[in-house]
Amino acid sequence: MKVKVCVGSSCTLLGSMSILDQIDDLKDIISEDPDNYNDEELEVEAIKCLGFCKDTDKNVAPVVVIDDEPMYNATSQTVMEKIINTIRK
């Protein structure tokens, strides 16, 4: 599973660094409990402005892209839920 977290200025201002921290914590939780998660590797990338904020007048930040599917106005909770629901056995 590939997770891209935007760390451009708009997304950082609205909390993307905290989402990155939470994903790091989740990676630790997964590695300590391998029986409950599938073997899929969780690849996390921090990217400076994914461009979504420039395509629209709407406020979309923070943006997180999970396996090519963008999540707008992402929160730690919505991102964790999406990741866990996908990789939990």
Position 30 contacts ligand FES (CB under 6 A): no
Contact with ligand FES (CB under 6 A): which of 8, 26, 65, 83?
A: 8
Nearer to ligand FES, 26 or 65 (CB): 65
Residue of 50, 53, 82 lying closest to 66 (CA atoms): 82
Residue 22: count other Cβ atoms within 10 Å of its Cβ.
17
**63 CB burial (10 A radius; 0-12, 13-18, 19+):** buried
- Does 52 sit near ligand FES (CB under 6 A)? yes
Q: Which chain residues interact with ligand FES by CB under 6 A?
A: 6, 8-11, 49-53, 61, 63
